[in-house]
Chains A and B, each alone.
Chain A
Amino acid sequence: MAAIRLAVPDTAQRGEVIEIKALIQHPMESGFRRGSRGEVIPRNIITRFECRYNGALVFASDFQPAIAANPILTFHTVATETGELEFKWTDQNGEAWSEIATITVT
């Protein structure tokens, strides 16, 4: 199971640009590597990341095999209202992991 770390400000002023960081522990196995016996190590990657702010998509990214293991994303959005930010990673097989952070906007 993948561990997730989030960095979202607890509070912000309306209209403020806030920095968000999101890390997920994942091998991001490219499918191009070989094991010690020469066998191909099967591809196992996250293919999609989405961040929704009170349900509205504010940031999304498609991941490819070149993305490193345990990817960290840093991005910005505008604090508009008090609520929840939902972070969701989906892998190539459709398995998904998500986490929620709350923010108070004044």
Chain B
Amino acid sequence: MTSRFNRRTLIKGAAISLGLVGLPSVGLSQAKPNIVIVGGGFGGASAARLLRQLMPSASITLVEENAKYTACPFSNLVIGLGRPLDAQAFSYTGLESSGITLAYDRALDVDVTNKTVSLASGVTLPFDRLILSPGVDMRWGAIEGYSQDAAELLPHAWKAGPQTRLLREQLQAMPDGDTVIMTVPPAPYRCPPGPYERASMIAHYLKTQKPNSKLIVLDAKDSFSKMTLFQEAWAEHYPDHLEWRGAIDDGRVSRVDAATNTVSTDFETLQATVINVIPPQKTGEIADRAGVSDATGWCPIDPISFESRLQSDIHVIGDATIAAPMPKSAFSANLQAKVCAVAVARLLSDLPPQPTVLANTCYSYTTPDEAISIAGVYTNEGSSLSSIAGAGGVSPLGADKSIRAAEAAQAVHWFETITSEAFG
């Protein structure tokens, strides 16, 4: 949504509306509670930083496998435009210097009875409250033939890092005139408009670097986020370089073969030089181990405290949660982290969590200097999250290029703000 107000104001405004100002003065019932957070993405890092402010005496441990976090937002620009992957990387040194303990380790299991998390190194961390921000895992095998080994040949690039680089390198190595295929799963998955931003960026790359090549998007859905805006941009910019096929046009992929570089739908088998398989997803595995995920593969939560509906004293935030209508996005994870951090601080101080207002904005680039957006505002009052009618919206159709350029500039500011919020 294009408007004069700045997203930074919204993020700060939301923080104030959560009652952060008054909280640090609340007397803590526990002298030194142990708070363990698993997963150092936008959710986990944001939660750790806010809890540090809210509870100066608490012991806060963030468990994260990697020394650096590679952010997914803007990673489609790495693939299509050659943005440096380093620009996506963030370290935890800011968190460590603020007194958060970083355990660079893999969380293996959660003992819900004794309230401990066991790590791969053999260390066991006790907790009073546990916050899981495990992100997504791929559902290997949901598409026949798509395994971890196959992903080394047919990258998903749906977790930023080596996979992102691999897809970029494959596009660069591809001869002009060859075909690229991208497969898109049914909802829910991380970043609803992400595949279509990526399709735009790949189509731009082909148009400018491999003009005789084409991208075919095979989608398991018939409609998607910001669909009319994307299709307007595609018709204008990539009529010869991007073909989108929905489920109604046999777009649903049931099988891939890494040995022959082929993709099979119900009625057809297509071959391509580069195949980007975005597979169906589920919550990160540690949530399964903790018993906070259900048969859907995602985690049901109380929308006010983000405490699991299946295990007490364990909270879940970010992509792993069932938080619809909030999308699985970095923005959502950051705001859910703040709501959760305040709730945890209040619960540890024998105060009830309070309902509040949440928001999300997703920017998507359609060309190197044009972007479109969708914004939503939500309330967690009552037993579920719900959209506030009349708030939020999407970019206008048929808008002037200057509006698209202004949103692209806003997207850059948003990225700077959200990453400095999460990682300092």
Chain A: residues with Cβ within 8 Å of the partner, total of 8
**A5 with B267: CB separation less than 8 A:** yes
Selected from B248, B266, B268, the residue in CB contact (under 8 A) with A25 is B248
Q: Across the interface, name the chain A residue whose C-beta is closest to B252.
A: A72
Chain B: residues with Cβ within 8 Å of the partner, total of 6
Q: Which residues of A contact B105 (CB under 8 A)?
A: none
A6 to B266, CA, bound (A): 9
Q: Which residues of A contact B266 (CB under 8 A)?
A: 5, 7, 21, 23, 72
Cβ of B250 within 8 Å of any chain A Cβ, yes or no, is yes
A23 to B267, CA, bound (A): 9
Digit string of B260-272 for contact with A (CB within 8 Å is 1, else 0)?
0000001110000
Q: Chain B: interface secondary structure?
A: loop
A25 to B246, CA, bound (A): 12
A8 to chain B, nearest CB (A): 10
A7 to B266, CA, bound (A): 8
Q: Across the interface, name the chain A residue whose C-beta is closest to B248.
A: A70
B99 to chain A, nearest CB (A): 55
A18 to chain B, nearest CB (A): 15
Q: Which residues of B contact A6 (CB under 8 A)?
A: 267
Q: Which residues of A contact B247 (CB under 8 A)?
A: 70
Q: Across the interface, name the chain B residue whose C-beta is closest to A5.
A: B267
Digit string of B95-130 for contact with A (CB within 8 Å is 1, else 0)?
000000000000000000000000000000000000
**In the complex, the 8 A-B pairs of residues with the closest C-beta atoms, listed nearest first:** A7-B267, A5-B267, A70-B248, A21-B266, A5-B250, A25-B248, A72-B266, A21-B267
Q: Which residues of B line the A interface, CB within 8 A?
A: 247-248, 250, 266-268
CB-defined A-B contacts under 8 Å, sample of 16: A5-B250, A5-B266, A5-B267, A6-B267, A7-B266, A7-B267, A7-B268, A21-B266, A21-B267, A23-B250, A23-B266, A23-B267, A25-B248, A70-B247, A70-B248, A72-B266
